[in-house]
Amino acid sequence: MKTYKNHPPVPKVLQDALKDYPELIAGLREALTKTGLTLFMSKTLRYDQFEIAIALLEGRLDTYWSDAAEEVKAAEATGDAALIAKAKEKEMLMIRCRRGRLRDSLDELERFFA
């Protein structure tokens, strides 16, 4: 596996959405270390890396969504209304990040790999 030194940043729209969850932003940053640019990389390879970055973010956001759904189940088991509301709020945020915010991030990622 190739090691890249120039990695794409976590797109700003995702950083803004997840500002209350720095550990999730760090997880996205870690995922993006598996992709990047090298000097004199061809346009074809840049596009491939762009696609890989999208897939990495999708995978990590899917995991966050799944984890948030589990947190809702655990909160519901406690019967604590405040805990349930907080867990559902986080789950909705993860859904919005995966379905909309990621799509809103594509331009920024594309500029990085252009």
What is the per-residue pLDDT across 1-21, written as a single tens digit (0 to 9) for each? 567 779 999 999 999 999 999
With respect to residue 54, please indicate whether it lies within any of the assigned structural domains.
Answer: yes
- pLDDT attached to residue 46: 93
With respect to residue 26, please indicate whether it lies within any of the assigned structural domains.
Answer: yes
With respect to residue 14, please indicate whether it lies within any of the assigned structural domains.
Answer: no
With respect to residue 82, please indicate whether it lies within any of the assigned structural domains.
Answer: yes
With respect to residue 68, please indicate whether it lies within any of the assigned structural domains.
Answer: yes
Domain count, the chain: 1
- pLDDT attached to residue 106: 92
With respect to residue 74, please indicate whether it lies within any of the assigned structural domains.
Answer: yes
With respect to residue 25, please indicate whether it lies within any of the assigned structural domains.
Answer: yes
Of the pLDDT bands very low, low, confident and very high (cuts 50, 70, 90), residue 39 is confident
| Cα(92)–Cα(19) distance, integer angstroms | 15
Structural domain harbouring 74 = 21-30+41-109
With respect to residue 92, please indicate whether it lies within any of the assigned structural domains.
Answer: yes
Query: Which pTM value belongs to this model?
Result: 0.90
